[in-house]
Every structure is written in C-alpha cells, then in structure tokens.
Structure 1
Amino acid sequence: MKVTVELSDQEMTEVLELTGELKKGPAIRRLMEEALQLRRRAQIAQKFLSGEWGVELETYEADQERERLRLQEIAP
C-alpha cells in the first residue's frame, strides 16, 4: 500500500541518516518497521511486568537446592 507522508527536509535527512538508507522510500519503510518492532517489544514486556504473562520454572528451586548441596559437599 502506498502512503503519502509530508516531512521537512531536515526530518527526511535525519531519517536517511538514522536508517543508513540512501533512498527515501526504503528509509521511511525501515524506520516504520523498527518503530513497530519496538512497540511490539514494549507490549510484550508490559505483559510480563503486569503479570498477565509469566514463566513457570517448575524445577528451578529444586535444581538450585541440589546444586547448593552439591557445592557444599565438594567444598574444602
């Protein structure tokens, strides 16, 4: 889909510099893709921080305890 966007010369120059692209179209596309990716990452992070999503490590604590005991046994 094509979209018309109005940018100042200064903004376009900055977009080209930030993206490293030489042409305007690819530069704007890359900037847009990166912005979307950052927003998606922020949304995922927020789900973990809010507790909506989580990770269950069922054997983590037991494994840690076993490792602690093993290290105590071999310690001088």
Structure 2
Amino acid sequence: MAKFAAAERAAAAAGWRYVVVTGWCRHVAVGLDTLSARRRPVVDRLGLHGELLELAAERPRRFGDLVEATSLPAVARAHAVHLL
C-alpha cells in the first residue's frame, strides 16, 4: 500500500493521474488469446511472408490495406495474423 501511495503522490506531482489496473478488459484478453493461438510453425509455400514484409517496409499501412495489397489477400490475412 505504501508503494502505491508513493506512486500516486509522484504522479500527482507530475500532473498525471494514477490508476492501478488489476485485470484485462474482455476484448483485450480475447485479442491476446487469438494471437497466442497462432503461435505455431507455418510453411509459406506461396511466398506471402516476404511479400507482407516488403509491403510493410514501404510505408505504414492499416492491417486490411496491407493484406489487400498482396497477391492473395484471403491467404495473406491468416499469414499476417500469424506474423503478429
């Protein structure tokens, strides 16, 4: 409790608000679970890995725009989620 109180005072001195978070919102937990489920080896027979990385290196893009710019958007979507 003393550490939380000290952190709150330090934040107030800097003009910040201080909040202690004790759990994840449901949508955050679902998103993390989805990404975690994709952690498995993937064979890239269509060469989408390199294509996605090249497109991402060109400039920042929204996720949907990135996969739509590939030669096979439907397959690239699943591969891009795996890369995340």
Bigger radius of gyration:
1
Q: Larger relative CO (CA 8 A, sep 6+): 1 or 2?
A: 2
TM-score (norm 1): 0.27
TM-score normalized by the length of structure 2: 0.26
